[in-house]
Amino acid sequence: MNLSEIKDAKLRDRILAADREQNGDPLARLSAAQRQRNAVGESATGNADEKESPRILVVSIIRFGSKELDSDNLAFGCKWLRDAIADSLGIDDGDKRIKWQYGQILTAGPTGSMVTIQAAY
């Protein structure tokens, strides 16, 4: 069973909260990785003014289903997942630091969703 199959919003929220507690805040992990990368870059170049910082997070939601949806229905069908992801990051889903991408793969097998989150510089 995946998160998209859980219809009880309170249960989904508890699962997302437990995941955040176990794995930490993704934005905080990005910040820690960025600090480490900057420290390595400064020691290598000696230039602290050329720090590279993440501009946005790219969140891709891929839907696996038995029939193809048009683009507006695909985005609408992923809305609850988009809201849950933004909530787990502690920001609004309309925040300009997140770029949302949607896709779909037709399957005769199990349905569900796959989410990837990448930092873009």
pLDDT at 101: 94
Residue at 104 is within a domain? yes
Residue at 111 is within a domain? yes
Residue at 1 is within a domain? no
Residue at 2 is within a domain? no
Look at the chain and report how many structural domains it folds into: 1
Side-chain half-sphere exposure of 39, counting CA atoms within 13 A: 6
Residue at 44 is within a domain? yes
CA separation for the pair 85, 10 (Å, rounded): 15
Residue at 70 is within a domain? yes
The pTM (predicted TM-score) of the whole model is: 0.56
| 3-class state of residue 7 by DSSP | coil
* Parent domain of 23: 8-120
Q: Say if residues 41 and 50 touch (Cβ distance below 8 Å).
A: yes
pLDDT tens string, the chain, 121 residues long: the values are 455 556 667 776 776 676 666 666 655 655 555 555 555 444 444 444 445 566 788 999 999 999 999 999 999 999 999 999 988 888 899 998 899 999 999 998 888 999 998 888 7
Strand pairing category for 98-106 and 56-65: parallel
Residue at 3 is within a domain? no
Give the pair of three-digit tokens for residue 36.
Answer: 């480490």
Residue at 66 is within a domain? yes
